[in-house]
Structure formats: structure tokens, C-alpha cells
Structure 1
Amino acid sequence: MNLSELKKGEKARIIKIGKIGELKKRLVEMGITAGEVIVFDRNAPLGDPQEFLVKENGISIRKEDSKNIEIELIK
């Protein structure tokens, strides 16, 4: 499953961040790494980007980029 498939309020654990160039480096610097818990908060008014919560911090990621982040749902 990838990050773009999460629904509002769902929690997931990041398994792997795929090849998304310089964005991967920035995400890691912000604490988005394998093993971290991420929660889908909301979509922007036009549906892109999506906002997520990681370590109680909001971060916006474009849908195209979030498709490259592999996750597993947390019940």
C-alpha cells in the first residue's frame, strides 16, 4: 500500500521511501523515515497536496510523491 491511499484519520507505519530525488533527502531531514508513524490529516482544497502528521508536525506532500512511499496500516 502507498501513502496516497490513506483515508482521513488513518494511521500507518512507513515501510520504505522510494526514489523521489531531492524530496527524499528533505523528508528524512524532517523525520519521515522508515518505521515512523504517519497520520493522514486532510487534503488541500483542490485535493493536492495532502497533509500528514508525523511526530505531531504537519507536512504536505504531493500525491504524485506520496505514491512512492510504501506503508502498512496500523489498526
Structure 2
Amino acid sequence: RKGDAINTLFDQMPEDTTMCLTMVATPQDILESHLNHLAKKAVGETLASEQTLKDVQEARSLIGSAHKLYRGTLA
């Protein structure tokens, strides 16, 4: 944070830095089956499994509201 402005990590990089964003479009039914698989595997009372279930529920809610979800990588 410099002054009143909030800087992102990319703002802190050297001037000629290149950012690469990769988006992979997959059918939503494949994504839903992956979410179902994650939900089945997230068992127990650990923080990781509870957070996974919460994230799966949020993703299902977004898909149910006619939003499209895509996998992405930022490098």
C-alpha cells in the first residue's frame, strides 16, 4: 500500500512484465460431475473437508443460477 492507493502484485512487477491468463472451456455437466466427486471425497470434520464442501455448494449455487464456470490459470 502506497499512500491512499492499493497496489496489486502485478503493479509491483517490473515495467515489461507479461501476464498470461489461460481459460479452459469445459462442458458444465463435466464440471458438475467433478463437483460431485469432490463432495463425495470431502468427508470428516477437518477444516479442509469442510471448506471443500462449502466451495462445492457455492459452485453449485452459481451453476444453478445460470452462471458458467470455467477453469483458469494465471501465470
Question: If you compute each CA radius of gyration, which structure gives the higher value, 1 or 2?
Answer: 2
Larger helix proportion of the pair: 2
Larger strand proportion of the pair: 1
